[in-house]
Amino acid sequence: MAIQNVMVIGAGQMGSGIAQVCAQAGFNVKLNDMKQEAFDRGIAAITKNLARNVEKGRLSEEEKTAILGRITPSLDLNDAHDADIVIEAAVENMEIKHTIFKTLDEVAPKHAILASNTSSLPITEIAAATNRPEQVIGMHFMNPVPVMKLVEIIRGLATTDEVYKTVEEMTVKLSKTPVECNDFPGFVSNRILMPMINEAIFTLQDGVASKEAIDDIMRLGMNHPMGPLQLADFIGLDTCLYIMEVLHEGFGDSKYRPSPLLRQYVKAGWLGKKTGRGFYEYS
């Protein structure tokens, strides 16, 4: 199936990044959110990213205008009526995702693929809210979307090979690298990344080293671009805790228990970069 019209649900950091790379690849994009202000913030972030690319000589002013022209606002899920694919990047809450997917299933064309950018919720369970589970798939982009190469593509229990192939081809058109995996808690990325971050927080909690030392050891010793505590701040400590809870519950294995220090920070509202304070302080 040829994809031309894309709808992205959620104009936050992930949704706006996804809308940007889709529009850059030539797709028509509807960027949906519940509030106009959220859309405006998303478009402002996209405009800033594209302007930096113009400054660096990687994009002309005309190309920037054309890319922005391919993104239209949407405040209504009914706008999915002409979508070939919908990529949902709303909040990580199964009840909300069920409501969104149920509506999308009613309004999107029969051929449309319904994808979720969830970082850890089961694709099969999201698909169960629809009458087209074979056309539901996970498309897990990494943050920051315009920079990171990977899209982890998750097959639900019912996802067909044809749908997988279409999404794989689309991902290549976005200049990203698709990597396939099955629907298990945390998929591959967060099943491996989050326990590492959680262990770094236990290491801090145990007083083994300072936060700076833990990050330096992992950055300089393992060549990671960011230390695990800095990365946790960047992802959001609430998101890290949420994913650990999905792993803990999904596997029923105590090795995934979230660190009490992580819980404490989240309860304090120290959620990382987005709130100005996490393991580090941000001005």
Known binding residues for NAD(+): 10-15, 33, 92, 97, 119, 143, 274
Give the neighbor-by-neighbor strand order of the sheet with 177-182. 71-74, 28-32, 5-9, 85-88, 113-116, 136-141, 150-155, 177-182
Smallest distance from ligand CAA to CB 54, Å? 11
Is residue 49 a contact point for ligand CAA (CB under 6 A)?
A: yes
Is residue 15 a contact point for ligand CAA (CB under 6 A)?
A: no
Residue 124: enclosing H or E segment and its boundaries?
A: helix 123-127
Size of the site for ligand CAA (CB under 6 A): 18
| String of contacts with ligand CAA for each residue 74-113, x by CB under 6 A | ----------------------------------------
Beta carbon nearer to ligand CAA, 5 or 47: 47
DSSP string, 28-64: EEEEE-SSHHHHHHHHHHHHHHHHHHHHTTSS-HHHH
| String of contacts with ligand CAA for each residue 115-154, x by CB under 6 A | ----x----------------------xxx-xxx------
Q: Which tokens belong to 108?
A: 């999107």
Per-residue b/e over 211-236, b at no fewer than 16 CB within 10 Å? beebbebbbeeeeeeebbbbbbbebb
Beta bridge partners of 153: 139, 180
Is residue 260 a contact point for ligand CAA (CB under 6 A)?
A: no
3-state DSSP call for residue 67? Answer: helix
Query: Residue 153 is which amino acid?
Result: I
Which span sits near ligand CAA by CB under 6 A: 164-172, 223-231, 248-256, 258-266?
Answer: 223-231
Q: How far apart are CA 178 and CA 175, in angstroms?
A: 10
Smallest distance from ligand CAA to CB 146, Å? 4
Active site residue 53: no
Beta carbon nearer to ligand CAA, 139 or 193: 193
Q: Which tokens belong to 49?
A: 């990213």
Smallest distance from ligand CAA to CB 144, Å? 3
Q: How far apart are CA 117 and CA 44, in angstroms?
A: 21
Which span sits near ligand CAA by CB under 6 A: 21-29, 83-91, 224-232, 266-274?
Answer: 224-232
Smallest distance from ligand CAA to CB 244, Å? 11
Give the binding site for ligand CAA (CB under 6 A). Answer: 49, 52, 56, 119, 142-144, 146-148, 189-190, 193, 225-226, 231, 235, 239
> Which residues form the catalytic set?
119, 140, 152, 190
